[in-house]
Amino acid sequence: MKANGLVAAMLGCMMGMQAPGQATPASVAAPSPLPTPALSGPLQWLPPAVLHAGPLGKLDANGIVSGYGLYQDNHVPGDNIGQATLSNGLLFLQKADGPVQYFIQTGAYTIPELGVPFLSAANTVKDFFGPVPVAFLKLPVGKTASFQIGSLPALVGAESTFTFQNMNVERGLLWNQENAVNRGIQVNQTLGKYFTASLSWNDGYYSNRYSWVSGALTFTKGVHSLAFEAMGNAGSTKFQTLATPVQNNSSVYALVYTYTKGNWIIQPYYQFSDVPTDARVGVTQGATTNGGALLLSYAFKHGFSLPARVEYIKTSGSSANGAVNLLFGPGSDGTSVTLTPTWQKGAFFARGDLAWVHAGSPSPGDAFGTQGEAPNQLRAVVELGILFGSNITGK
């Protein structure tokens, strides 16, 4: 199979790889889509372009270019009623077989979230995870275990970090309590026929302080999957950035069930988090969150699907006792409803979020609108994009 022209040309210039139009050996089988980076649906990867890199051996490559625009009411100061930016301009290189494997994700991206002001791709890359947000070395050990070392996707949560990975364009309110990317080491183990487990020592919310332990235990049988996920900081730090919020001094637990059969994906989950009192890091009164969400997706004919997300999250504490703010002020709660009509034809896709967020019991100035007093915000988002792989048409 020939490599996709755009991807192969970029890589060929940099690394002297196979040029577009040059035939691969007849013995090379047509590749299937790779599981990394993971997609929860409804978007589907194309098979990767197979690139021959001389002494580096065979590499697999995929890519994505997409942009999104949004309209919102009750925008906060510094934000605007309408915004647009590149949502993904990413290249994925990986070696997915052999005794030494690796994955590299590089380029530009945004991480749009409900209830959070717009941030352009340039500022997201600068303020979060840089131009290589995910990159790791993978060392298989036998048939059932592996080690991963590098910048890794977080283990906790039902939603992943980047727009293309999820049912919805924007991340939800529960996701905003979790970490997204962490740096560290992770061991993965298959346990018998139905269980898989992962355990990681890492820097939590991208803090560069290696004091976090994360783990996940997943039971999978047929169309059913149930995962228990947990993470916690064995230390504490005052260090804070956009990528490293106050939640870096916390623990998070999640229970995620997934049903996948035919046209349906059904995924309810529960999440609890705790930011404890710690005057050394500026948390004079800790707080917890309790939340639940239901994610659904139904696939129609001709590439159309309709994902939806409903979620609710409640925080403890009050302004009177000086509790740390984890949402719309101490003791507040949040509700969101999102519909994401989606169409994909081969490499091309179009989708749009229609989202409503309600801030319950907000502190003055911590809700929506120019004065922070509006309890609701509506958003309409459109994302258009192209996936790149071995065949851009996807036929």
pLDDT band at residue 333 using 50, 70 and 90 as cut-offs? very high
Phi, psi of 328 (to 5 degrees): -110, 35
DSSP string, 224-263: EEEEEEEEEESS------SSS-GGGS-EEEEEEEEEEETT
Residue 27 has pLDDT above 50, yes or no: no
**pLDDT tens profile 119-176:** 999 999 999 999 999 999 999 999 999 999 999 999 999 999 999 999 999 999 999 9
Quote the percentage of the chain above a pLDDT of 70.
91
Q: Which residues pair with 104 in a beta bridge?
A: 93, 135
The Cα–Cα gap between 39 and 54 comes to 30
Adjacent-strand bridge partners of 173: none
| pLDDT for residue 213 | 98
State how far the Cα of 48 lies from the Cα of 58, in Å rounded to an integer: 11
State yes or no: pLDDT of 16 exceeds 90: no
* Domains in the chain with CATH codes: 5-21+41-388 (2.40.160.10)
CB burial readout 160-177, b (16+ within 10 A) else e: bbbbbbbbbbbbbbbbbb
Mean per-residue pLDDT, 95-115: 95
Kindly tell me if the per-residue pLDDT of 327 is higher than 90: yes
Report yes or no: 47 and 61 within 8 Å, Cβ to Cβ: no
Query: Tell me: the pLDDT tens digits for 51-68?
Result: 887 877 789 999 999 999
